[in-house]
Structure 1
């Protein structure tokens, strides 16, 4: 992620592509129906964040949102004009799942599923509807009412989609954890929301290994006294049973009539998502049915160009908001491609092979996955990916070299969409536009309806310089509240403490002269060296471009005397030694691409970088550990993908690591 923006685009949309895009058709509709003409995307964006009521009402109308009651007004701000407490489409009542099933058809499957244990198989819309109806009926018979919580500990399998749609159909609030979460991590999340129903699998597979979770399920039920009904999905063992727990197949056998949808208020909770919980109890972030519905129509249709009949895939677990986001592709009439397993089992080609066999049109994953493919020089079956239209990346900044690898090794005519947003809105703030070119290391645009700016230290909006990512106008997909958050204390402290009334997201960004966005990493992990702020993503971009370096982590430690120490930790490729010559090349790369301030004080080899389950580097927790903070208070190991990776840093802190 260089300091200067790229000169030549890697991809430009053809005229025919632009004309046939959902976004251009929406703009044409605005002209015909509203008399609004926009010269380009940036004009459209400016209108969408200035006349926000007209914009969101146009999304409602364009996508023909079905409300069972007429809304009184589009936007009603709180008495204090604060984003918290903003009300949207008051008095409207609707249902998310009802909009999904508007797309049922015999012409194509609803789902395609593959796992480490299961070859590619189809789930028809008729089967999906029948199963959702059966589960919804079972939930109603068990006394589940609108607002009750249905919690899930399931792998990324069709049963997860069925369970969510059924819970939503009856007006229940959905919440999900991946089965690879530790016991304490799941309890910390679900105990906050007191679920009435728990649906869990008997285990899961990963990297060719099976992990039995039946005893963990029993422990979880003991820890959650609010659960009145539990359901076991037999994923590993078709004959597994648990006393007092209903089998999923018995739920599916529930006699049911036509699928019925409970109409709930626009701001009724749809699901509870959770912050990573690396420090303190995970925040139980609660979104609205209506806000998620509008945001997902806008994001997937207009910014990713997902159309009816397309096949949509995003590699995710059920514990990451990208699972919820990918399920939203069903709103467009797309076929959702579901995969359960490791990205490198049996080889790193497994997902690319799936893209070929499933004829995937939209292929998404974490930035770390694409960087790993680049590092491993994965041979992508380019000639067989004729259906591939877009590649989506999120989770962390995608380095320019990975952009270039995709265009050189995957498809030169694919539209690469880098997204950034998160659990906070279950969508993205910045992402793609089918009207704009793609430049290496840059996210194409700020998304419609999102008044995103970069603020300097004085709270002024700046261009072409680093700043804090802020949102200055409310969006329907912002949390309605954090569950059990008295007086919105945690909500307010999470986003609104630095700039009163303005959402500070915690990312360090630059808005370029062409209105693209470059993300430089989390602002709480910014390297403040000699009064100059450095984004960690810059360091990773330069260091990890070297083939000898597999992964890296950089932090800045402030000393009591006002000086500082910046170590760079590197994971090397197999059979590579950290020689003085390699250190010199790393330093030269940082100095050449960026500045002398980017050169670390020391380069240290370690075996692996600690990551959260969702794939984020634990920069701030490592920094706190090395500065002497109690590791148990700094990070919950249950939230980590590789908790043993912390041990070395704990040892370093014990040796009074100061450099």
Structure 2
């Protein structure tokens, strides 16, 4: 089988499409996906001659492929029934009649001698601590018993307002073990944004921390508790994790975390629930209003994450897995699922760039991380700062760097090879909160090409289509998935008849998932992502909706209307300007700029403070009053006005010329952004 290729890479010559990394024969032999291929042949299920042949089988015979995932990983299910009742989308019905629990698969590793969780924080924080598999099982059992004693079970929701700490993982696992549904927001979200999301679920328990650390600052979050309780009146219990206040008393009517996890109680048997029983609810960015809640089932997440982490990221029980993330982002859920394959996961509360801009690399070295995940923006910042992590830190254990959240510029592969390690691939992944996983990404037995993603994931019938539903190669099209995936949402929260679900993904191409990304699939089956084809803001991998920003900016009396754009640039950077149409007699001075930035920072998140605030005469709309976010984004990326919108569909077509002139001027005057 010719799965990979050995090549001597001259780093300085790496250009777009060139091979930046190639697996050695030893790495191919040791890869978990190679073992899976051998197992398929030994059990008489399928004989793969290449990754392409394996992928073809996985998407043309999804019933056989996903049954093989269940059996290969030893996923225990009770009951009987087919793998897939129907392939028809939406709402394909996976493993009807089967029951399981996500937590069973996690705690199957409880005899491991390695840590389950390493928890660390910025200087001044609690410092590193480890949670053994035995202690993880004990605390999950104790908290599950605490929840059960208070009547929490199937049909209930438990929510978190937490930083990326071990307690967030334990709270999630305990919730899942009793059959309740979990959802969480990171503490960088302001209370109003939290209530917009978690309040939809009518939760009965809130797990919160008294605060978090970021960039050398302690951010107290106890003051947010009254607003959260007022916005979620269904709450019956509040647990408070002590991160900042060193044992001081918790607010009246709440329970200290340590009380809920002290002792073990009776042995816990996780509730066996339907394959599609709600495990968690992840939220969209809220671009067009209240954020959508994606409901994912236990079984779909177990199978999809085992496949993605073990076969694609090549993660296993001997690994230490760190992905810099927030509980607001689905990558946190993927990090936690490292426990499914028996890996040690690292939870980090803090900035990747404090106290120095290479803090994440220091963390990686300190804990001997083998698989590190981060954003392309962080890698670019390190490159611009002249950092050489492989020289400054002991990264000898680091095997793979994962990158997601935005487009990976080709030159980053050269930087990683030169300054991290030539044997360390930069593994780009594209996916979505919607499916809680990836569509395309790293394949450890295939080469990595600069600026490209190695291949579609197994079991993902990925394609690129034009507007008429024709498959494209070597041309930009819409990312579509033509066969169901087990981790597609079972439904949207509060979408009784599924109308919103259908409208979101299946309106453009009936029966086919349209994701909202512009992609090119090459003739060699690599994938190039060009950014969002919708208007979701996606800065450093954290997705936000434009509606959150409009809500706070347009409350200012000086601002008549606003338009925020997140535009991926050709050099891999992400530019986020805010255009404002001002009220009569208002001027954009430093004071107003500061108030705009302050309102966004306080009411939405510091992560979405715009790069620039620019005055325009008016904001363009469709004839039905919808802001032209996507057309303006494409203009700012260098597309002609005539190619992005029809004049007759716009309330004032001349406004688009204003943005075109601005884009041209900026490109001419800025070698960084105008490349």
Whether TM-score is above 0.5 comes out as yes
Pairing partner for 1:91 from 75, 78, 97: 97
Pairing partner for 1:228 from 227, 236, 256: 236
| 1:268-318 CA-partner distances (Å, limit 9, x unpaired) | 000000001133100011100000000000000000000112100100011
Q: Which moved more, 1:215-224 or 1:421-430?
A: 215-224
Cα pair distance change 1:633/1:215, threshold 3 Å:
farther
1:390 aligns to 2:426 (yes or no): no
Say whether the 8 Å CA contact 1:279–1:633 is kept in structure 2. Answer: no
Query: 2: distance between equivalents of 1:490 and 1:129?
Result: 39
The equivalent of 2:310 in structure 1 is 301
Question: 1:51-90 alignment to 2 at 5 Å?
Answer: 51-67=61-77, 69-77=78-86, 82-90=88-96
Say whether the 8 Å CA contact 2:409–2:572 is kept in structure 1. Answer: no
| 1:301-342 CA-partner distances (Å, limit 9, x unpaired) | 000000112100100011111000000001111100111101
Pairing partner for 2:371 from 329, 353, 362: 362
| 1:460-494 CA-partner distances (Å, limit 9, x unpaired) | 00111111100000010000000111211211111
* 1:122 match: secondary structure: strand
Question: 1:282-361 alignment to 2 at 5 Å?
Answer: 282-361=291-370
1:627 aligns to 2:638 (yes or no): no
Query: 2: distance between equivalents of 1:622 and 1:354?
Result: 39
Shift of 1:370: 1.4
Cα pair distance change 1:366/1:542, threshold 3 Å:
closer
Query: 1: distance between equivalents of 2:337 and 2:446?
Result: 24
* TM-score normalised by structure 2 residue count: 0.79
The equivalent of 1:542 in structure 2 is 571
Question: 1:141-160 alignment to 2 at 5 Å?
Answer: 141-160=149-168
1:201 aligns to 2:218 (yes or no): no
Query: 2: distance between equivalents of 1:633 and 1:151?
Result: 33
Query: 2: distance between equivalents of 1:339 and 1:633?
Result: 40
| 1:89-120 CA-partner distances (Å, limit 9, x unpaired) | 11111010111010113521111111011332
Question: 1:556-635 alignment to 2 at 5 Å?
Answer: 627-628=619-620
The equivalent of 1:552 in structure 2 is 575
Cα pair distance change 1:15/1:250, threshold 3 Å:
same
* 1:152 match: secondary structure: strand
Q: Which moved more, 1:218-227 or 1:294-303?
A: 218-227
Cα pair distance change 1:483/1:36, threshold 3 Å:
same
The equivalent of 1:594 in structure 2 is none
Query: 2: distance between equivalents of 1:541 and 1:119?
Result: 40
Gaps of 5+ in 1: 527-535, 545-550, 558-605, 636-652
Cα pair distance change 1:204/1:20, threshold 3 Å:
same
The equivalent of 2:133 in structure 1 is 125
* TM-score normalised by structure 1 residue count: 0.81
Query: 1: distance between equivalents of 2:173 and 2:493?
Result: 21
Shift of 1:381: 3.8
Say whether the 8 Å CA contact 1:308–1:332 is kept in structure 2. Answer: yes
1:374 aligns to 2:383 (yes or no): yes
Cα pair distance change 1:508/1:413, threshold 3 Å:
same
Shift of 1:514: 1.2
Shift of 1:613: 5.8
Cα pair distance change 1:42/1:195, threshold 3 Å:
same
The equivalent of 1:465 in structure 2 is 475
Aligned residues: 569
Query: 1: distance between equivalents of 2:436 and 2:422?
Result: 30
Say whether the 8 Å CA contact 2:15–2:411 is kept in structure 1. Answer: no
The equivalent of 2:121 in structure 1 is 115
* 2:383 match: secondary structure: helix
Query: 2: distance between equivalents of 1:92 and 1:476?
Result: 13
The equivalent of 1:452 in structure 2 is 462
Q: Which moved more, 1:11-20 or 1:116-125?
A: 116-125
The equivalent of 2:430 in structure 1 is 420
Cα pair distance change 1:624/1:302, threshold 3 Å:
farther
* 2:570 match: secondary structure: helix
* 2:96 match: secondary structure: coil
Gaps of 5+ in 2: 1-13, 537-564, 581-595, 629-653, 662-675
Say whether the 8 Å CA contact 2:32–2:310 is kept in structure 1. Answer: yes
Shift of 1:553: 4.8
Say whether the 8 Å CA contact 1:280–1:633 is kept in structure 2. Answer: no
The equivalent of 1:138 in structure 2 is 146
1:400 aligns to 2:410 (yes or no): yes
Shift of 1:543: 7.7
* 1:299 match: secondary structure: helix
Query: 2: distance between equivalents of 1:102 and 1:278?
Result: 40
| CA RMSD, 1 decimal | 3.2
The equivalent of 1:162 in structure 2 is 170
